[in-house]
Structure 1
Amino acid sequence: MCFIACKREHEGMEGKPGTIVIENVLQGKPLVESGMFKGSGAAAPVILPGEAVSFSFSAAKGQRVTFSAMYGWSNDLFFAPGNPGIALYNEAGDPVNGDVSSVIRLWDNGTRINQAPGMSVMHPGAVESKNIREVNGVDDQGNTYLPASALLKATLHYDGNSYFTLTLKNTSGGTANETPVSPGVWAVSYIAGTDLLDPQPLYQSGSTSYAGLTKLAETGDNAEIYTVVQGKTGIFTPLSPVLVVIYRGENPLFKVGESDRMKGLKKLAQTGNPDELAASLQTQPGIKKVYILADPENTVLLPSVNGAPGGKVSQAISLAKDDRIAIATMYGFSNDWFFSTADNGIAWNQKGDVSEQIRLYDNGTAMDQFPGAGNGQQGGMMITEKKLIIEVPNPNTFTTLPPVKQIIKVTLN
């Protein structure tokens, strides 16, 4: 009996080899925000001449907003900005305010032969099978149109902290192309670096239309296209290179309810760079090993996109009795959110999927913005604050996140 007990104690002191595997298992979505709009006047939900609708959204530099709504007195025409949408910041990086109507275009959905526009249009009209194309003054049947910007006015207002309000006013009254405008949909794509994840979220010029857009363009019903757009809207975020620390004693990274210790966690949470925190940990008592795990191809761990697997890193480790493991990685499209092990980390003798022990925290050092749509993210200028570290509520002020285990998976083998 003594021999067996002593042998087990010796094995615990020596440590057992294993592997920690960390994966970004998020099923990434290309659109960060989307919604629908409708009139509230005499003929609601239709927007009559002289009436206006507004909607608000958040966006970072480089992002665009787009929308689509039917030219009501037509067979299958719709208003929409030219892709990728309305620019929200000028070349100097300042928010755009004022009239942005010049980017609005009139489009032919290509599914109905155009009758002369006006209240006498008969629906649904004769079927045709063509690609989506711009109506630039005259359609295929010889009907003439004023520029879309003369029929629908778009005004942008910057509300502060990366929020905008777009107002659409039906200005067609008294013109040769007077028309009601249908309810519509709008969308904002994620941006990674300088690339929009979905630069054509509502339509593709030169391509055939799809059921949701056709329903909108032919009948003014925005329900089906809204369902399509909502299916592409959600969460997309990379994870920064992951810091893994093996230690004994108390959690060396942070405690909920305390301020950032100014030893490198702030930099990880705000920028994704774990180097300062790793160097600081090396000087602390109780620290046995510190690792930085970066994706060999992309550095960051990207989410799954279009069925491709997300980023994945692993590290061979050795754990002895009473050792504990903590990790930290930035929620990349945030101002200062980070994933980390809860409480006092993961015990040395745990095996398998331990993702239930991971939480998402707010470092309390930068003002939060809509995740994936804020100017203080992805290297932008953030607004500092001084608050205590808390777990990020879900739902939160901006959105509803999937469960943490559907974003990051941690396995001990």
Structure 2
Amino acid sequence: MKVLRLLMSLALFALVFTQCKKDDFTAGISDPVLKGAKPTGTYTVTVENVSTPYDYFESGVQAIPEGKDSPGPALPGDSYKFSFYAGAQHKLSIATMYGWSNDGFFAFGDMGISLYDEDTPVTGDVTSMLMLWDAGTEENQEPGMDNPHDGANVTDGMIQLMSAVGDGFDYGTVETNLKVTLDYEGNSLFTVTVENLESSKTPVSPIVWVVHFADQNPIFTQREMDYGQGLEDVAETGNPGALSSYLDMHSGYVSPIAPVLWVLHDKKDMPVFTAGAPDYGRGLEILAETGNPGPLYESLTAEGFETGVQATPFGSSENGPIFPGEKYMFSIEGEVGQTLSIATMLGASNDVFFSTGDKGIKLSNGVSEKDITHLVELYDAGTEVNEYPGAKGPEDSEEASIVQLLENVDDGFWWPTAAQVIKVTIKKN
């Protein structure tokens, strides 16, 4: 993977939302704003990250056992199977009820399991990482189909390993009940199979799953009380509805926006790229793949263009990308009738960038402040094969294609519109 693959795996360490490292976006940039001369009219440009700040990457529920037509528990001999995308920065957490219990559930540790060993996808039997937990919400009774499961509610119980409860009941071992395997399908796609073995002592409920980031406890925290987001329903009744809905509302694609390159030029010029043609080789590839606008700025400066970079988020003293709720603000000095082009990387991508198009937009003198977001679109630089948005798997396949609108690229993935991530306004001072 190129630089951003590594930098994007670090940005979520503080539960920020995607995968960026500030230094890689700003390598070679010494000043917050680099600009040319020729002062005439002054304009203030604001670039905001307006994407939704989701906590988790992807989530879901698998409720239909393999070979069945309708939702239901997996009985001994049945299995659940589900697939998801994930990158090297992601982990997987699941939860499923131990059916013949009061509030027992199978899950990995409270921080889930890693899906990659560095850049190598984890595959094979991961049953040893699964554990049986007690939700601490209901008093335990002897497990079994014919036994009552009407224990009294517990209002101050904590989630802990069933083995630590010491209730004296026989639940069997995880390995005699279930088998969990991970398969890697390529291009960041994993498939999980949860088998309820013939030797199992219990049915299990539909699988709630979530792909999340390091240091997150999306479903529970060991030796703390249930969050109240639906795990109790899973552990006591096998109903995945509340927990899966909660995780779904908090899961989705989020991307940082890299430092912004701007350039003033005549309307006949196309200084950054030409749509439908290969990259010029002047630095757009580096901007689109790593977020660093420095080489492109240097090339444009050498060609005599009035150009600059805004690398410092508003209100910050350090260079870096902007995350949801943050913005860049910078001033340009130009003549009415000149054309402005901007380019900035969509951080959670391989080579996708925002741009005002190859011809840019004309500076006007009639409106004091104008929202120009509708003139900004997402482009594919054509220099690297796309991967699932935000996953950033181990593949690193270069391509020799053309710069084109992202919507024209048939990669089979869902991408946001530019307006779902960015807002750009320009004000004549």
**Is the shorter-chain TM-score for this pair beyond 0.5, marking a shared fold?**
yes
The residue correspondences of 1:302-321 to structure 2 (distance < 5 A) are 302-304=322-324, 310-321=325-336
- Counterpart residue number, 2:47: 22
- Counterpart residue number, 1:281: 300
The CA distance in 2 between the partners of 1:215 and 1:61, in whole Å, is 31
Give the CA deviation at 1:70. Answer: 0.8
Residue from 344, 353, 356 that aligns with 1:338? 353
Q: Which amino acid aligns with 2:60?
A: G
- Counterpart residue number, 1:231: 249
**Does structure 2 retain, via aligned residues, the 8 Å contact 1:257–1:388?**
yes
- Counterpart residue number, 1:6: none
Residue from 369, 387, 393 that aligns with 2:401? 387
**Does structure 2 retain, via aligned residues, the 8 Å contact 1:241–1:329?**
yes
The residue correspondences of 1:257-406 to structure 2 (distance < 5 A) are 257-284=276-303, 287-295=305-313, 296-297=316-317, 299-304=319-324, 310-342=325-357, 344-349=359-364, 351-375=369-393, 382-393=396-407, 397-401=412-416, 403-406=417-420
Q: C-alpha deviations, 1:133-186, integer Å up to 9, x for none?
A: 233436353323333243221111121222221111112x435xx000100211
Q: Which amino acid aligns with 1:336?
A: D
Residues 83 and 410 of structure 1: CA distance in aligned 2, closer, same or farther (over 3 Å): same
Residues 373 and 144 of structure 1: CA distance in aligned 2, closer, same or farther (over 3 Å): same
The CA distance in 2 between the partners of 1:29 and 1:240, in whole Å, is 19
Matched, 1:50 2:77: yes
The residue correspondences of 1:179-218 to structure 2 (distance < 5 A) are 179-190=202-213, 196=214, 199-209=216-226, 210-218=228-236
The CA distance in 2 between the partners of 1:124 and 1:342, in whole Å, is 65
The residue correspondences of 1:87-236 to structure 2 (distance < 5 A) are 87-90=114-117, 93-137=119-163, 139-171=165-197, 173-174=198-199, 178-190=201-213, 196=214, 199-209=216-226, 210-236=228-254
Give the CA deviation at 1:281. Answer: 1.1
With the length of structure 1 as denominator, give the TM-score of the two structures. 0.85
Give the CA deviation at 1:238. Answer: 1.2
- Counterpart residue number, 2:273: 254
The CA distance in 2 between the partners of 1:316 and 1:62, in whole Å, is 36
- Comparing 326-335 and 60-69, the one that deviates more: 60-69
Give the CA deviation at 1:27. Answer: 2.2
Q: Which amino acid aligns with 2:222?
A: S
**Does structure 1 retain, via aligned residues, the 8 Å contact 2:59–2:210?**
yes
Give the CA deviation at 1:73. Answer: 0.8
**Does structure 1 retain, via aligned residues, the 8 Å contact 2:83–2:189?**
yes
Q: C-alpha deviations, 1:291-329, integer Å up to 9, x for none?
A: 34333455333323xxxxx33222222220221111111
Give the CA deviation at 1:100. Answer: 0.7
Give the CA deviation at 1:44. Answer: 4.6
Residues 165 and 52 of structure 1: CA distance in aligned 2, closer, same or farther (over 3 Å): same
Residues 124 and 324 of structure 1: CA distance in aligned 2, closer, same or farther (over 3 Å): farther
Number of aligned residue pairs: 380
**Does structure 1 retain, via aligned residues, the 8 Å contact 2:136–2:160?**
no
Q: C-alpha deviations, 1:67-92, integer Å up to 9, x for none?
A: 1111111111111111321222225x
Give the CA deviation at 1:215. Answer: 1.3
The CA distance in 1 between the partners of 2:185 and 2:209, in whole Å, is 18
The CA distance in 2 between the partners of 1:122 and 1:217, in whole Å, is 16
Q: Which amino acid aligns with 1:185?
A: V
**Does structure 2 retain, via aligned residues, the 8 Å contact 1:156–1:164?**
yes
The CA distance in 1 between the partners of 2:55 and 2:331, in whole Å, is 34
- Counterpart residue number, 2:6: none
Q: Which amino acid aligns with 2:84?
A: F
Gap regions ≥5 residues in structure 1: 1-12, 191-195, 305-309
Residues 237 and 131 of structure 1: CA distance in aligned 2, closer, same or farther (over 3 Å): farther
- % identical aligned pairs: 36
Give the CA deviation at 1:396. Answer: 7.1
Q: Which amino acid aligns with 2:179?
A: K
SS of residue matched to 1:225: helix
**Does structure 2 retain, via aligned residues, the 8 Å contact 1:137–1:147?**
no
Residues 121 and 44 of structure 1: CA distance in aligned 2, closer, same or farther (over 3 Å): farther
**Does structure 1 retain, via aligned residues, the 8 Å contact 2:80–2:207?**
no
**Does structure 2 retain, via aligned residues, the 8 Å contact 1:49–1:179?**
yes
**Does structure 1 retain, via aligned residues, the 8 Å contact 2:66–2:81?**
no
Residues 297 and 155 of structure 1: CA distance in aligned 2, closer, same or farther (over 3 Å): farther
Give the CA deviation at 1:121. Answer: 3.8
Residues 297 and 56 of structure 1: CA distance in aligned 2, closer, same or farther (over 3 Å): farther
Give the CA deviation at 1:220. Answer: 0.9
Give the CA deviation at 1:283. Answer: 2.9
Residue from 82, 86, 94 that aligns with 2:113? 86
**Does structure 2 retain, via aligned residues, the 8 Å contact 1:86–1:100?**
no
Give the CA deviation at 1:343. Answer: 5.0
The CA distance in 1 between the partners of 2:108 and 2:296, in whole Å, is 46
- Counterpart residue number, 1:240: 258
